[in-house]
Amino acid sequence: MSVLVVAEHHGGKWHKMSWDTLVAGQTVAALLKTELSALILGAQIEPLAAELATHRVDRVFVAEHELLSEYSSDGYTIAIQQVIGRVSPDLILFPHSYFVRDYGPKLAARLNRSFLNDVIDINVKENCIRFTRQLFQGKINADVTFSDDLPHFISIQSGAYRGDTLEPTGNFAPVEKIDVTIDPTDIRTRYGEWFRESKSKVDLSSAEIIVSVGRGIKDPKHIPIAKGLAEALGGELAASRPVCDNGWLPLERQVGSSGQTVSPKLYLAIGISGAIQHVVGMKGAEKIAAINQDAGAPIFEIADYGIIGDLFEVVPALTEAILAIKED
């Protein structure tokens, strides 16, 4: 078995999830007692490749091409397919980024393989590898094995392995260039510049206290219930995605993978189930409190404090209790 990790970057900067994925790769390579290689694609990426080579890998492959200077699903698929042809890895790990969502399953299908996404844990027993992933928006876990042939394609969920603890070593792994051929006509899509809808006026990242409201609030007319609590606590009001999608609160208050990332002293989640795309944006909070009527809601897996109950009763009571304490 040999393991290959695909590292991702954009505009000369690493994607944070690349490091999580690299740690996952190191862990599984150790379990399988095998070598770990890493792959980086792009144009003008020598400095990144050199940096990668100092992070506990046995080898770094570099696939450079002018047409890889910006991401395209066609370009990445063609290039990685050629790399796989050259280095024959048995297990390929990708970060579960939006890019990988866009090309990973396509690449696997081109090689007549399935793709296993959002893996949170990998175990090896008697040379059989079991991968853990979440189902039902985080309510259920499942252990999965592959029934198809090598190589196996998997993506690692953000934060499942702790890339932020990874330190460079003094050693440089060998860096090997791999020639890839891509024809401009192979790339069927044209990608425009990145932009943000509007400059956000709300910076939740520096807030110390955040009261965040989810779909459990049911109707925009109930938003003041959450707002009242936020005001009592002297905190900012935030929301899960469906609340912003519905226009109940502006998009600039959305927390999660497609919104803001926050790390307050207290994150109080009201009527939020705790789907991974929300959790990645707030799990760095010092203390997490959750109010939810469903004892099985995944938000309770990461909460320090929990109340299982109806938010329409609990939140007003909590607001009163806090105001009373503050008056003392």
Partner 1 sequence: MNIFVCLKQTPARDSVIRFADHGKRIDESGLTYELNEPDAFALEEGIRLKEENGGKVVVVSVGPERAIAVIREALAKGADRGILIENDESFQVDAFAIAKALAAVLSEESPDIVLTGLQADDLGFGQTGVILAELLNLPHASIVVKIVEISDGSIRVRKELESGWFQNIDMPLPALLTIQSGTNKPRYATLMGIKKAKTKPVEYYSIRDLGVEPLRSQTIENFYAPPKTKETQFFEGSSREAADKLAEKLKFEARIL
Query: Footprint of ligand FAD on this chain (CB under 6 A)?
Result: 137, 214-216, 240-242, 254-259, 271-273, 275, 277-278, 281, 291-294, 297, 310-312
Q: Which is nearer to partner 1, 170 or 192 (CB)?
A: 192
What CA dihedral angle connects 276, 306, 121 and 255, to 10 degrees? 20
Is residue 110 within the footprint of partner 1 (CB under 8 A)?
A: yes
The binder of 26, among partner 1, ligand FAD, none, by C-beta within 5 to 8 A per type, is none
Quote the distance between the C-alpha of residue 228 and its chain's center. 32
Contact between 3 and 90 (Cβ < 8 Å):
yes
Q: Which is nearer to ligand FAD, 22 or 213 (CB)?
A: 213
Residues 228-287 that bind partner 1 (CB under 8 A): 233, 241-242, 244-246, 251, 254, 257-261, 265-266, 286-287
Q: Which is nearer to partner 1, 224 or 234 (CB)?
A: 234
Exposure class string for 166-189: b at 16+ Cβ within 10 A, else e: beeeeeebebeebebebeeeebee
Q: How far is the CB of 299 from ligand FAD (least distance, A)?
A: 7
The binder of 278, among partner 1, ligand FAD, none, by C-beta within 5 to 8 A per type, is ligand FAD
Q: Which is nearer to partner 1, 143 or 176 (CB)?
A: 143
Is residue 192 within the footprint of partner 1 (CB under 8 A)?
A: yes
Q: Work out the number of other CB atoms within 10 angstroms of the CB of residue 308.
A: 14
Q: Which is nearer to ligand FAD, 79 or 297 (CB)?
A: 297
Q: How far is the CB of 32 from partner 1 (least distance, A)?
A: 19
Q: Which is nearer to ligand FAD, 35 or 312 (CB)?
A: 312
CA distance 177 to 61: 6
Residues 10-69 that bind partner 1 (CB under 8 A): none
Residues 62, 108, 182, 272: which binds partner 1 (CB under 8 A)? 108
Q: Which is nearer to ligand FAD, 54 or 200 (CB)?
A: 200
Strand-strand pairing, 266-270 and 287-292 = parallel
Q: How far is the CB of 327 from ligand FAD (least distance, A)?
A: 27
Cα end-to-end span (Å), the chain: 65
Instruction: Tell me whether the omega of the peptide bond preceding residue 95 falls within 30 degrees of 0, making it cis.
Output: no
| Element at 288 (helix H, strand E) | strand 287-292
Exposure class string for 115-150: b at 16+ Cβ within 10 A, else e: bbbbbbbbeeeeeebebbbbeeebeeeeeeebeeee
The binder of 287, among partner 1, ligand FAD, none, by C-beta within 5 to 8 A per type, is partner 1
Is residue 134 within the footprint of partner 1 (CB under 8 A)?
A: yes
Residues 30, 43, 150, 317: which binds partner 1 (CB under 8 A)? 317
Question: 24 phi and psi, to 5 degrees?
Answer: -60, -45
